[in-house]
Amino acid sequence: MNRLTTWLTLDRLRQLLAGVFLVLFAVVWIWIAVKLLSFNPTPAQPKLVLSGAFVTISGVLTGTVAAATATALGINVVNAQQAGVTGGTLAKNALSPLVAAGVITYAGVGVVGWLGGAYVAVTQP
């Protein structure tokens, strides 16, 4: 039990939780993109319909990842500034691996979603 409490500090628990939310966010939005790209509208079903619960979950995950990434980045910038770091070194210190993963995942999912929506809009009859 002592080894677990030594390994599982509050900071590691936060990182683990943030990583789980980041993975869930990516999985949900990649699933939406796949559904959108594989959807073929018919007269009976002209629009892709997602359940209200799924839309709510995807929105909550999006807000959580965006807010957590911005918060972590802001905290890292302030901590680096208080340590006297400036310029390009400040940016390097502010981008922890989890913050960088959050920014890249959020931007990547956004681009994939945008491209998927554009593709479907252009290829619809």
What confidence tens digit (pLDDT) does each residue in 55-81 have? 898 888 888 888 888 888 888 888 888
Cβ neighbours of 105 (radius 10 Å): 17
The per-residue pLDDT for 80 is 82
Q: What is the residue type of 7? A: W
Low-confidence ranges of the chain (pLDDT < 50): none
The per-residue pLDDT for 3 is 66
From 83, 28, 101, 91, select the one nearest 60 (Cα to Cα): 28
Dihedral of alpha carbons 39, 41, 44, 46, sign = positive
Cβ neighbours of 85 (radius 10 Å): 16
Question: Can you say how many angstroms the Cα of residue 37 is from the centroid of all Cα atoms in its chain?
Answer: 20
Straight-line distance from the first to the last Cα atom of the chain, in angstroms, rounded to the nearest whole number: 62
Percent of the chain residues topping a pLDDT of 70: 91
Q: What is the mean pLDDT of the chain?
A: 80
